Amino acid sequence: MLRLTQASNLAIATLWADALVVEGIAASVQRQYLAGVAGQLPPDQCLPEVWIHHPAQEARARELLHHLQHVPQHRWLCTCGELVEGGFEQCWNCAAWMPR
């Protein structure tokens, strides 16, 4: 097994591990229950970690992880005049959909 990365919280670690599994890379989350001892142990030692089971898949796993961590964000001007940023495809002001 090979440690791929630490995550800021259990939800993110689980999402990353699940995404790797969907792509055919055997992955698991380790240290998922250590958050409760932060303070007794250094906090950076209590973060959940994503591990892959086969080191030969490291390059592909790192590539997929990079894409998960760097999702392109949209920025568009709605017909109502509102500037919509981030991953939103619908205007929060008027509920219009992002133009294609």
Q: Tens digit of pLDDT for each residue in 2-58?
A: 999 999 999 999 999 999 999 999 999 999 888 778 778 888 888 999 999 999 999
Residue 95 CB-density burial (10 A; 0-12 exposed, 13-18 middle, 19+ buried):
exposed
User: What pLDDT shows up at residue 71?
Assistant: 80
Pick the CATH number of 2-69 from 2.40.50, 1.10.10, 1.10.3470, 3.30.70: 3.30.70
User: What pLDDT shows up at residue 51?
Assistant: 97
Residue 76: what are its φ and ψ, rounded to 5°? -145, 155
| Every domain of the chain and the residues it spans | 2-69, 72-100
Q: Say whether pLDDT at 95 is over 90.
A: yes
User: What pLDDT shows up at residue 37?
Assistant: 80
Residue pair 52/1 in contact by the 8 Å Cβ criterion: yes
Per DSSP, 41 falls in state: B
